[in-house]
Amino acid sequence: MKIFGTAGVRLRFPDELDPILLYRVGLVLGDLGVSGTSHIVYDSRITSHLVMYGLALGMLSSGIDVYEVGLAPTPIAGFAASRRKSLGISVTASHNPPEYNGFKLYTPDGFESTRDLEEKIELLLDKSFRPVSWQEVGRFSRDSLVVEEYVTELLERFAPSRTTWRPIVIIDCANGATFDVSPRIARMMGARPITMNCNPDGNFPARLPEPRKDVLEQYSGIASVVNASIILAHDGDGDRLAVLDTQSGYIKLDRLLAYYANLALRDKPGHVIASIDTGMALDEVVERHGGRLERYPLGKTHERVKQLGPGNVAVACEPWKLILPSWGHWVDGILQVAIILQNMVETGKPLSKLLEEENIPDYPWDRRSYILDPEEIRDRLYEELVEELKGLLGEPARIIDVDGFRYEYPDGSWLLVRRSGTEPKLRIYSEAKTNERLREIVSHVEAKIFELAKRLGGKIIEKTLG
């Protein structure tokens, strides 16, 4: 029974995710023997308590001791797994709409679950298990200290060495799990945070939990009104971060990742593992430092870190997401807040100026997603589009097919088409060195998608940007 997608489990409740399935997952986790204890955090979704208790019931029935950490960001599940040598669980559907929920698993070394472990879980879900005897059931208790330990350790590592500037920053928590930790970190690092959407609410009333460009740009005017230099915006569970700078607007995701890589490689050369949808800024920064860039499937960069050994990897990243192995083995959006504010407070410069001084490239880019009606034609359209693209924009210099199909052209431009692993969407990513070339790519590909949808008897019912 397949339940895992690109990054963990994200399913619609109750049609795809129900209490019986959750109980069975908990039993399977006990049978696999990943750990005798588990630590669970959860986000603000309406169904998160139900999902947590469903999983907990199965684990307790299989003999696992369960510790409830509480409403807390996903990175703390990885931290708890690592520091407590426990199975970490984050109940979340990340940036998906509110009707979704699910979970991510972290093994006692702090790594998110590998595809191998996920396949074992899926295989065992169809088998029959009996609970342990009454004398062997697990214990249920709480461990709220782990949140404070996370905050303390992050500050010990990234607190500014000097305070040159106390910038006003807006922290947008998307009504999600970072409502307390991120503003607190910002304040303790010397910034002056103004909180926005920091009341937990699983309906996500203020905005969609996905921090896309088209979602966040409506807030750009607020920053100037309160004299903030930057908006730091999370998704629902805190593993992602997007940034709006009052001087340059929405900062391209690849530029942020290239900035983090630049900082890490400056201290220690090594591998950079990036998802297939990252752009040319990373290539140029890694080459500048004599590092090695390797692209990997979306949602699975942590697997390559594990294979190579954390000590050999400077950073692993994908849009919105960062793993810094010298800090921890999990994706961490709060870590990004700390890195950005550390450098702003120490230097007295806005992020846009730091990117400029570090010569982080800024190329035109486009990201868009399509939902088709009926949903069933998506896979067929994808397959036909992949064939059509081989000659649509000229002969590619290289085609990478580790996660979807990425077409790289002699002029440096590239195009990626892939199916979302968490929603019924077709995703298109593109980048070029000139706006003219980017417009050519986007217009040709979009026209082809509409043409194929019509040919297959369907239509595009939703298009999102960013």
Look at the block and give the residue holding tokens 């630590």.
Answer: 39
Give the pTM: 0.94
Tokens of 463: 């298009």
Do residues 219 and 231 lie in contact, with contact meaning Cβ atoms separated by under 8 Å?
A: yes
The b/e string for 57-91 (b: 16+ C-beta within 10 A; e otherwise) is bbbbbbbbbbbbbbbbbbbbbbbbbbbbebbbbbb
At 462 the pLDDT is 87
Tokens of 434: 């000139």
The reply to whether 86 belongs to the active site is no
Q: At what angle do helices 75-84 and 145-158 cross, to 10 degrees?
A: 100
Nearest to 320 by CA among 274, 368, 263, 262: 274
* Cα of 293 vs its chain's centroid, Å: 19
Other residues' Cβ atoms within 10 Å of the Cβ of residue 379: 13
Q: Which domains does the chain have, with CATH numbers?
A: 9-143 (3.40.120.10), 149-250 (3.40.120.10), 260-328 (3.40.120.10), 365-465 (3.30.310.50)
At 237 the pLDDT is 98
Radius of gyration of the chain from Cα atoms? 22
At 326 the pLDDT is 96
Side chain identity, residue 205:
P
Q: Residue 41's beta-bridge partner residues?
A: 70, 90
Do residues 365 and 257 lie in contact, with contact meaning Cβ atoms separated by under 8 Å?
A: no
Give Cβ neighbours of residue 281 (< 8 Å, ≥ 6 apart). 252, 254, 255, 257, 258, 360, 361, 362, 363
Q: At what angle do helices 280-288 and 253-267 cross, to 10 degrees?
A: 10
At 350 the pLDDT is 97
At 421 the pLDDT is 78
Side chain identity, residue 247:
Q
At 112 the pLDDT is 98
Q: Which of 86, 94, 352, 430 is catalytic?
A: 94
Q: Low-confidence residues of the chain, pLDDT below 50?
A: none
Do residues 236 and 43 lie in contact, with contact meaning Cβ atoms separated by under 8 Å?
A: yes
Give the whole-angstrom CA distance, residue 16 versus residue 19.
10
Tokens of 285: 């920064």
At 463 the pLDDT is 87
Dihedrals φ, ψ of 212, to 5°? -80, 165
pLDDT tens-place string over residues 5-27: 989 999 999 999 999 999 999 99
Give the whole-angstrom CA distance, residue 415 versus residue 189.
39
Dihedrals φ, ψ of 112, to 5°? -65, 155
Give the whole-angstrom CA distance, residue 78 versus residue 84.
10
Output the 3-class SS for the chain: CCCECCCCEEEECCCCCCHHHHHHHHHHHHHHCCCCEEEEEECCCCCHHHHHHHHHHHHHHCCCEEEEEEECCCHHHHHHHHHHCCEEEEECCCCCCCCEEEEEEECCCCCECCHHHHHHHHHHCCCCCCCCCCCCCCCEEECCHHHHHHHHHHHHHHCCCCCCCCCEEEEECCCCCCCCHHHHHHHHCCCEEEEECCCCCCCCCCCCCCCCHHHHHHHHHHHHHCCCCEEEEECCCCCCEEEEECCCEECCHHHHHHHHHHHHHHHCCCEEEEECCCCHHHHHHHHHCCCEEEEECCCCHHHHHHHHCHHHEEEEEECCEEECCCCCCCCCHHHHHHHHHHHHHHHCCCHHHHHHHCCCCCCCEEEEEEEEECHHHHHHHHHHHHHHHHHHCECCCEEECCCCEEEECCCCCEEEEEECCCCCEEEEEEECCCHHHHHHHHHHHHHHHHHHHHHCCCEEEEEEEC
pLDDT tens-place string over residues 333-369: 999 999 999 999 999 999 999 999 999 999 999 999 9
